[in-house]
Structure 1
């Protein structure tokens, strides 16, 4: 059996370096089903959705355990190569294969025959090859129609080995879900699915000459698998509504595993998508034919309209929360005004204390924050949202890494006589400064929310509570009666699952994690390092 290509030293360095950087940039990275990754030596194509440019590839490299695969052969657009930039060096040093895109060439011609040959040879040696079948990174709420390249490579690989009865090629699909891809200290879910296995004997229909309908059929299966583990919607509005519905249905915060939370959001999202598409389709039919009788049936159409109306009402409720600067949790658990005032004072004092003790670390972070802020601001000006926002995390990672190294080695030079102590104290001060700053931000965010609640006024607050009560009943009816979700979500999702990363189990762990040095306790998977609840998405 082939053992795969040897691991380049640059790949090991990059994997170690960016595994560290990714863990700092993203608050929690949860990897599900890593045991499904085919072991080293078995030819494998890893396919994932592509919404975050180079960050997607780095995340896969960091998420695949070294004991499973010693090398993940990456691909990147050819325009990234041959430049005198850190990103270009990074890509080339990791053994990445350049792919030419038609859109990057004026004549629309891009010859990738040599590249495909290299990929096939890599598979023959037992390597794992990473491909993004969407063809390009894009900042959109929906997965683009997949290109047929992966299916055609599978066909070519099987054809090359048609006389080898032991040849087996695995296609490992992966779904990457960023809670907020470009925001510092957000969370990420990486879900690997059961690999699809192909051999010349079991899949003779993929051997050349192949019917192209087989290629399209396999591509459709890939799309279904990838989209089944992430949020895929025609608009950010639907994702926003689905997240609110999930929080109303199961207000567990991080007591629920991130994977369970994403799957609940996706369940509501699919219901909203299906209902809207059916209602729109029936409306178009009625307009074109002049008839009012729906093809779906009155009862089914009425149910879809109820779901569409629920989505509209959820949006209106969320808009109100954003306008007042508060979260749904504050409405769900009303407090007496005296209690709110007392807690606001405590949160303010605690945030001041945390900011004070985090100042030394924050001073070291300041050059990094300034550098990345300027770099990202200038980059945003180069194009529209859909063409730039998918690379923001990449810019923050690379500029943050470079400026961070400058800060570290600069401090070593400045404190040369005691550099051996500085080498340990500087990263320790930076980490604890960031850790306390997160807590300070959270405490100040709670202070602002409580003060806003006090300023809302009792009549308006009661109106919001009544609105939420009605929404809660409608969300529960949809979840339990239509979608088949558990009737007691807090008990079900609170008790199921294990000790997943970032999750809290029980009152003791909830308190202990608040003071944990490794990772702060978030109250909500939607939380980022912001002074406000991040629920809106840039849309053009």
Structure 2
């Protein structure tokens, strides 16, 4: 294949990539990128397509996750209604060379002509660029991936058809699965998984050349959906996600000693098993069908029992780990004393820096609070992270420059010192919140009572046995998860590999040691989802 150079990188794109790489690393505790080596290099026409659950944040995440050494630029697309406004978001989108896409739902007459947009994308691909498309066609706060539109497949067909006489021409489709542990919460974690690129050539894929049978377009679209869905948590309901996460924690209670990628894939395995038992077949005449139905009934009963168990834990405000490893009363009291003292000490040293963070937190809270009033959860919550990122960035820059201005004689020092103090404050504040969260959980544990805890422990033992049976005999997961997943994977961001690494990471200035991939900067364990987010779309 003839190597193309690709379009030159605009200075604004370079600025945006550097700026938001910094901002995303502050907002999200850990961003793990898997399989970056699979990304086609600059000069090879490439369509990057991913699931779309977090509005503009998804695009920024892809821009910063693709190494500049692999691709100098990712040409983005965005809904046309975000262009032409006198806002920072609009400037951001336009400056990055983003192509506007019209949507039928935004037009008064329900029509949308994207001929010009598709032409620009085709030209960019023929130049050797990478373009980003979100084939769901929308971003919504929902637990499942929406049926994909056929735009990516049609674009592949158009490009191949235009270059049908070039035997060396090829175009790649790079699928990507984005998984947010909690997409809108400060200091939660994100997994970005790239899948092997699908490569298409005019001479090898004649079924996609014009005039094309639309069934071939649909088949390629379905293939894309299967690959993207397989790498993330895709569920028909929030309840199933909640239950699958609990099953994963019971099966392999390693926290961040296992990689984030493995954790997501284990959740996905349990989720698939629970989805199968939602619709038990009615015809049970054959022996094979009776056996399969019996297994599905058992899985459905386990799913229900796990939900009841998680509901009880949520009412008490404690985590499964407190039930798994019961603690004597004197140990609980001593740990409460240590956690409270440590959290107070960290809060104390964080106070000066928190004064700098206060305007940032207040601005983002006010902006998000007002934005939530503009629509229902499923239509607004997918943009919360975007609002927090942008308003946090702008208010943070204002605090930084205002502090430098007020300390003008010492400006060269405060120019460097202010962001350093703000970062270390965030680092200490995270540990302070974590310590206080542990203190409150231990306090709640004391209020439950020995007899009740013993009953819950026995219930958990039964659930553990049934979860292991499902994992090993039905799903095919390893029967020794606590050793298998410690050894699997490499040294990823946010992961701890042992006791010494865990202790050393606790005092790291780069990031705090997390015990659980489910953690956020909250005084409670985030396990529930808004009920009305389950609106059928």
After TM superposition, the structure 1 = structure 2 runs for residues 134-149 of structure 1, keeping only pairs within 5 Å, are 134-149=136-151
- What's the CA shift for 1:485? 0.7
- Corresponding position of 1:263: 265
User: How far, CA to CA, are the matches of 1:238 and 1:167 in structure 2?
Assistant: 44
Partner residue of 2:359 out of 367, 378, 400: 367
After TM superposition, the structure 1 = structure 2 runs for residues 268-307 of structure 1, keeping only pairs within 5 Å, are 268-277=270-279, 279=280, 281-282=281-282, 293=285, 297-307=289-299
- What's the CA shift for 1:481? 1.0
User: How far, CA to CA, are the matches of 2:174 and 2:288 in structure 1?
Assistant: 37
- Corresponding position of 2:466: 474
User: How far, CA to CA, are the matches of 1:162 and 1:72 in structure 2?
Assistant: 25
- Corresponding position of 1:217: 219
Structure 1 residue 159 corresponds to structure 2 residue 161:
yes
- What's the CA shift for 1:342? 0.8
Partner residue of 2:500 out of 483, 508, 514: 508
Gaps of 5+ in 1: 286-291
Runs of 4+ in 1 over 4 A off after TM superposition: 292-296
C-alpha deviations, 1:173-195, integer Å up to 9, x for none?
00000000000000000000000
Partner residue of 1:49 out of 44, 48, 51: 51
Residues 295 and 99 of structure 1, relative CA distance in 2, 3 Å threshold? farther
- Corresponding position of 1:172: 174
Give SS of 2:503's match: helix
User: How far, CA to CA, are the matches of 1:451 and 1:136 in structure 2?
Assistant: 44
User: How far, CA to CA, are the matches of 1:228 and 1:194 in structure 2?
Assistant: 13
- What's the CA shift for 1:272? 0.3
**Aligned partners of 1:34 and 1:64 also within 8 Å:** yes
Give SS of 1:70's match: coil
Partner residue of 1:490 out of 479, 482, 490: 482
User: How far, CA to CA, are the matches of 1:48 and 1:496 in structure 2?
Assistant: 26
Partner residue of 2:447 out of 444, 455, 465: 455
- What's the CA shift for 1:296? 6.5
- Corresponding position of 1:288: none
Aligned residues: 530
CA RMSD of aligned residues (A): 1.0
User: How far, CA to CA, are the matches of 1:489 and 1:99 in structure 2?
Assistant: 46
- What's the CA shift for 1:515? 0.5
User: How far, CA to CA, are the matches of 2:500 and 2:117 in structure 1?
Assistant: 55
User: How far, CA to CA, are the matches of 1:143 and 1:127 in structure 2?
Assistant: 27
User: How far, CA to CA, are the matches of 2:316 and 2:271 in structure 1?
Assistant: 25
After TM superposition, the structure 1 = structure 2 runs for residues 223-262 of structure 1, keeping only pairs within 5 Å, are 223-262=225-264
C-alpha deviations, 1:27-78, integer Å up to 9, x for none?
0000000000000000000000000000000000000000000010000000
- Corresponding position of 1:429: 421
After TM superposition, the structure 1 = structure 2 runs for residues 19-30 of structure 1, keeping only pairs within 5 Å, are 19-30=21-32
User: How far, CA to CA, are the matches of 1:37 and 1:274 in structure 2?
Assistant: 33
- Corresponding position of 1:206: 208
- Corresponding position of 2:79: 77
C-alpha deviations, 1:486-512, integer Å up to 9, x for none?
111010001121111110011110100
Structure 1 residue 417 corresponds to structure 2 residue 396:
no
User: How far, CA to CA, are the matches of 2:508 and 2:323 in structure 1?
Assistant: 29
- What's the CA shift for 1:166? 1.2
**Aligned partners of 1:385 and 1:539 also within 8 Å:** no
C-alpha deviations, 1:331-384, integer Å up to 9, x for none?
111110011011101100100000000111111000000000010010000000
- What's the CA shift for 1:275? 1.6
- What's the CA shift for 1:539? 2.5
C-alpha deviations, 1:445-504, integer Å up to 9, x for none?
000010100011111111111111110000000011111111110100011211111100
User: How far, CA to CA, are the matches of 1:325 and 1:443 in structure 2?
Assistant: 15
Partner residue of 2:115 out of 110, 113, 116: 113
User: How far, CA to CA, are the matches of 2:13 and 2:89 in structure 1?
Assistant: 14
Gaps of 5+ in 2: 533-537
Partner residue of 2:310 out of 300, 304, 318: 318
**Aligned partners of 1:294 and 1:301 also within 8 Å:** no
**Aligned partners of 1:367 and 1:407 also within 8 Å:** yes
**Aligned partners of 1:155 and 1:206 also within 8 Å:** yes
- Corresponding position of 1:130: 132
User: How far, CA to CA, are the matches of 2:300 and 2:407 in structure 1?
Assistant: 63
- Corresponding position of 1:95: 97
Partner residue of 2:432 out of 434, 440, 444: 440
> TM-score normalized by structure 2?
0.98
- Corresponding position of 2:383: 391
**Aligned partners of 1:245 and 1:314 also within 8 Å:** yes
- Corresponding position of 2:456: 464
C-alpha deviations, 1:394-444, integer Å up to 9, x for none?
000000000000000000100111000001110111001000000000000
Give SS of 1:276's match: coil
C-alpha deviations, 1:79-119, integer Å up to 9, x for none?
00000111000000000000000000110111100110000
User: How far, CA to CA, are the matches of 1:490 and 1:128 in structure 2?
Assistant: 40
- Corresponding position of 1:342: 334
